[in-house]
Amino acid sequence: MRLYVDANFASPYALVAFVSIIEKGLDIEIETLDLAAHANHDPNFAKTSITRRVPTLIDDGFALSESSAICEYLDETFAGTRLYPTDPRSRARARQIQAWVRSDLMPIRDERPTYVVFCGAKRPALSERAREAADTLFSAALALLDGANLFGAWSIADVDLAMMLQRLIVLGDPMPQRLIDYAAHQWRRPSVQQWIHQKRPPLVEY
Protein backbone atom coordinates (compact mmCIF):
# COMPACT_ATOMS: atom_id res chain seq x y z
CA MET A 1 0.00 0.00 0.00
CA ARG A 2 1.31 3.43 -0.94
CA LEU A 3 0.20 6.89 0.16
CA TYR A 4 1.14 10.05 -1.72
CA VAL A 5 1.39 13.10 0.55
CA ASP A 6 2.79 16.62 0.33
CA ALA A 7 6.54 16.97 0.82
CA ASN A 8 6.06 19.25 3.83
CA PHE A 9 3.78 16.79 5.65
CA ALA A 10 1.50 19.76 6.29
CA SER A 11 -1.71 18.75 4.51
CA PRO A 12 -4.55 18.18 7.00
CA TYR A 13 -6.09 15.81 4.48
CA ALA A 14 -2.93 13.73 4.17
CA LEU A 15 -2.79 13.70 7.96
CA VAL A 16 -6.15 11.96 8.38
CA ALA A 17 -5.40 9.48 5.59
CA PHE A 18 -2.06 8.64 7.21
CA VAL A 19 -3.59 8.30 10.67
CA SER A 20 -6.32 6.05 9.28
CA ILE A 21 -3.75 3.69 7.76
CA ILE A 22 -1.73 3.55 10.98
CA GLU A 23 -4.85 2.93 13.06
CA LYS A 24 -5.70 0.00 10.81
CA GLY A 25 -2.25 -1.49 11.40
CA LEU A 26 -1.42 -1.57 7.69
CA ASP A 27 2.06 -1.48 6.16
CA ILE A 28 2.46 1.72 4.19
CA GLU A 29 5.00 3.23 1.82
CA ILE A 30 4.99 7.03 1.86
CA GLU A 31 5.69 8.91 -1.37
CA THR A 32 6.08 12.69 -1.12
CA LEU A 33 5.25 15.24 -3.80
CA ASP A 34 6.54 18.81 -3.93
CA LEU A 35 3.27 20.65 -4.53
CA ALA A 36 5.06 24.00 -4.80
CA ALA A 37 6.85 22.59 -7.85
CA HIS A 38 3.53 21.22 -9.18
CA ALA A 39 4.77 17.65 -8.92
CA ASN A 40 1.16 16.53 -8.66
CA HIS A 41 0.73 17.51 -12.32
CA ASP A 42 3.59 15.32 -13.48
CA PRO A 43 2.28 12.97 -16.21
CA ASN A 44 3.39 9.90 -14.25
CA PHE A 45 1.41 10.94 -11.19
CA ALA A 46 -1.53 12.01 -13.35
CA LYS A 47 -1.72 8.43 -14.62
CA THR A 48 -1.97 7.29 -11.01
CA SER A 49 -4.32 9.88 -9.55
CA ILE A 50 -7.11 11.01 -11.87
CA THR A 51 -7.70 14.10 -9.70
CA ARG A 52 -3.94 14.84 -9.32
CA ARG A 53 -4.40 15.52 -5.64
CA VAL A 54 -2.85 14.43 -2.37
CA PRO A 55 -3.47 12.37 -0.50
CA THR A 56 -3.78 9.57 -3.01
CA LEU A 57 -3.89 5.98 -1.80
CA ILE A 58 -2.74 3.06 -3.92
CA ASP A 59 -3.98 -0.32 -2.73
CA ASP A 60 -3.24 -3.28 -4.98
CA GLY A 61 -3.55 -1.17 -8.12
CA PHE A 62 -6.64 0.71 -6.90
CA ALA A 63 -5.99 4.46 -6.74
CA LEU A 64 -8.17 6.69 -4.57
CA SER A 65 -7.89 10.37 -3.69
CA GLU A 66 -9.93 12.67 -1.40
CA SER A 67 -9.24 12.04 2.27
CA SER A 68 -12.82 11.34 3.34
CA ALA A 69 -13.16 8.71 0.62
CA ILE A 70 -9.86 7.16 1.70
CA CYS A 71 -10.95 7.02 5.35
CA GLU A 72 -14.26 5.39 4.49
CA TYR A 73 -12.63 2.90 2.11
CA LEU A 74 -10.13 1.84 4.76
CA ASP A 75 -12.80 1.49 7.42
CA GLU A 76 -15.02 -0.64 5.21
CA THR A 77 -12.19 -2.81 3.85
CA PHE A 78 -9.80 -3.53 6.71
CA ALA A 79 -9.93 -4.69 10.31
CA GLY A 80 -8.26 -2.75 13.11
CA THR A 81 -9.39 0.36 14.94
CA ARG A 82 -12.78 1.57 13.80
CA LEU A 83 -12.46 4.96 12.13
CA TYR A 84 -16.16 5.84 12.29
CA PRO A 85 -18.82 5.25 14.98
CA THR A 86 -20.99 2.17 14.61
CA ASP A 87 -24.19 4.07 15.40
CA PRO A 88 -25.64 5.40 12.11
CA ARG A 89 -26.45 8.85 13.46
CA SER A 90 -23.07 9.29 15.10
CA ARG A 91 -21.39 8.05 11.92
CA ALA A 92 -23.36 10.58 9.89
CA ARG A 93 -22.37 13.30 12.35
CA ALA A 94 -18.71 12.34 12.04
CA ARG A 95 -18.94 12.66 8.27
CA GLN A 96 -20.72 15.99 8.71
CA ILE A 97 -17.85 17.28 10.84
CA GLN A 98 -15.30 16.16 8.26
CA ALA A 99 -17.19 17.85 5.44
CA TRP A 100 -17.69 21.01 7.48
CA VAL A 101 -14.05 21.61 8.38
CA ARG A 102 -13.10 21.04 4.74
CA SER A 103 -15.68 23.37 3.22
CA ASP A 104 -16.29 26.12 5.80
CA LEU A 105 -14.31 28.24 8.28
CA MET A 106 -12.33 29.66 5.37
CA PRO A 107 -11.04 32.74 7.28
CA ILE A 108 -9.33 30.43 9.77
CA ARG A 109 -7.91 28.26 7.02
CA ASP A 110 -6.62 31.35 5.18
CA GLU A 111 -5.10 33.10 8.21
CA ARG A 112 -3.94 30.00 10.06
CA PRO A 113 -2.71 27.58 7.39
CA THR A 114 -1.38 24.25 8.60
CA TYR A 115 2.16 25.53 8.09
CA VAL A 116 1.73 27.30 11.44
CA VAL A 117 1.16 23.91 13.09
CA PHE A 118 3.73 21.71 11.40
CA CYS A 119 6.38 24.09 10.07
CA GLY A 120 6.48 26.95 12.57
CA ALA A 121 5.06 29.67 10.30
CA LYS A 122 4.02 32.92 11.98
CA ARG A 123 0.94 34.99 11.21
CA PRO A 124 -0.52 38.30 12.46
CA ALA A 125 -3.52 38.55 14.76
CA LEU A 126 -6.81 37.20 13.48
CA SER A 127 -9.07 39.48 11.47
CA GLU A 128 -12.62 40.12 12.62
CA ARG A 129 -13.91 37.61 10.06
CA ALA A 130 -11.54 34.95 11.37
CA ARG A 131 -12.53 35.66 14.98
CA GLU A 132 -16.17 35.23 14.00
CA ALA A 133 -15.33 31.93 12.31
CA ALA A 134 -13.43 30.85 15.43
CA ASP A 135 -16.45 31.61 17.60
CA THR A 136 -18.57 29.42 15.31
CA LEU A 137 -15.97 26.65 15.55
CA PHE A 138 -15.84 26.85 19.35
CA SER A 139 -19.62 26.81 19.74
CA ALA A 140 -20.01 23.76 17.51
CA ALA A 141 -17.09 21.87 19.07
CA LEU A 142 -18.32 22.44 22.62
CA ALA A 143 -21.79 21.24 21.66
CA LEU A 144 -20.40 18.08 20.06
CA LEU A 145 -17.84 16.94 22.63
CA ASP A 146 -18.69 13.84 24.65
CA GLY A 147 -15.88 13.48 27.17
CA ALA A 148 -12.40 13.20 25.69
CA ASN A 149 -13.76 12.51 22.20
CA LEU A 150 -16.64 13.55 19.98
CA PHE A 151 -18.68 10.38 20.36
CA GLY A 152 -17.42 8.83 23.58
CA ALA A 153 -14.97 6.64 21.63
CA TRP A 154 -12.30 7.99 19.26
CA SER A 155 -13.07 8.44 15.57
CA ILE A 156 -11.17 9.93 12.65
CA ALA A 157 -13.41 13.00 12.88
CA ASP A 158 -11.61 13.81 16.15
CA VAL A 159 -8.39 14.28 14.18
CA ASP A 160 -10.13 16.61 11.71
CA LEU A 161 -11.61 18.74 14.47
CA ALA A 162 -8.42 18.79 16.55
CA MET A 163 -6.47 19.84 13.45
CA MET A 164 -8.71 22.86 12.98
CA LEU A 165 -8.32 23.82 16.64
CA GLN A 166 -4.54 23.39 16.54
CA ARG A 167 -4.32 26.05 13.83
CA LEU A 168 -5.37 28.54 16.50
CA ILE A 169 -3.75 27.00 19.56
CA VAL A 170 -0.17 27.08 18.27
CA LEU A 171 -0.22 30.86 17.84
CA GLY A 172 -1.93 31.51 21.16
CA ASP A 173 -5.31 32.59 19.83
CA PRO A 174 -7.87 32.66 22.68
CA MET A 175 -9.88 29.46 23.05
CA PRO A 176 -11.96 27.78 25.76
CA GLN A 177 -9.71 25.60 27.93
CA ARG A 178 -11.91 22.56 27.36
CA LEU A 179 -11.13 22.72 23.65
CA ILE A 180 -7.40 23.21 24.28
CA ASP A 181 -7.43 20.09 26.47
CA TYR A 182 -9.42 18.16 23.88
CA ALA A 183 -7.05 19.06 21.03
CA ALA A 184 -4.01 18.21 23.17
CA HIS A 185 -5.51 14.82 23.99
CA GLN A 186 -6.05 14.06 20.30
CA TRP A 187 -2.55 15.27 19.43
CA ARG A 188 -1.01 12.77 21.89
CA ARG A 189 -2.52 9.79 20.04
CA PRO A 190 0.41 7.63 18.81
CA SER A 191 -0.78 7.58 15.19
CA VAL A 192 -1.00 11.38 15.16
CA GLN A 193 2.42 11.64 16.81
CA GLN A 194 3.91 9.61 13.98
CA TRP A 195 2.74 12.28 11.55
CA ILE A 196 3.88 15.15 13.76
CA HIS A 197 7.41 13.74 13.96
CA GLN A 198 7.90 13.24 10.23
CA LYS A 199 11.07 14.89 8.93
CA ARG A 200 10.17 18.10 7.10
CA PRO A 201 12.20 20.36 4.82
CA PRO A 202 12.99 23.90 6.03
CA LEU A 203 10.02 26.22 5.84
CA VAL A 204 9.88 28.48 2.80
CA GLU A 205 7.26 31.18 3.37
CA TYR A 206 4.80 31.74 0.55
Under DSSP, the state recorded for 72 is H
Query: pLDDT truncated to tens, each residue of the chain (206 aa)?
Result: 999 999 999 999 999 999 999 999 999 999 998 888 787 887 888 778 888 888 999 999 999 999 999 999 999 999 999 999 999 999 999 999 999 999 999 999 999 999 999 988 999 999 999 999 999 999 999 999 988 999 989 999 999 999 999 999 999 999 999 999 999 999 999 999 999 999 988 866 54
Q: Which residues contact 159 (CB under 8 A, 6 or more apart)?
A: 15, 16, 19, 186, 189, 192
Instruction: Pick the closest to residue 13 from 86, 133, 113 (CA basis).
Output: 113
| The pairing of beta strand 2-6 with beta strand 29-33 | parallel
2 bridge partner residues: 29, 58
d(CA 39, CA 32): 9
Query: pLDDT at position 205, please?
Result: 55
Q: Which of 204, 198, 195 shows the shortest CA–CA distance to 37?
A: 204
Helix, strand, coil fractions of the chain, as percent rounded to 5: 55, 10, 35
Extents of the domains making up the chain: 2-81, 88-190
Would you say the pTM of this structure is higher than 0.85? yes
> Helix (H) and strand (E) counts for the chain?
10, 4
Instruction: Identify the H or E element spanning 5.
Output: strand 2-6
3-state secondary structure of 3: strand
What pLDDT sits at residue 49?
82
Question: What is the pLDDT at residue 204?
Answer: 61
pLDDT for the residue 87: 95
Specify the fold of 88-190: Glutathione S-transferase Yfyf (Class Pi); Chain A, domain 2 (1.20.1050)
Q: What is the pLDDT of residue 46?
A: 78
The architecture that CATH gives domain 2-81 is 3-Layer(aba) Sandwich (3.40)
Would the CATH topology of 2-81 be identical to that of 88-190? no
Specify the 3-state DSSP secondary structure of 189. Answer: coil
* Contact present, 157 and 150 (Cβ < 8 Å): yes
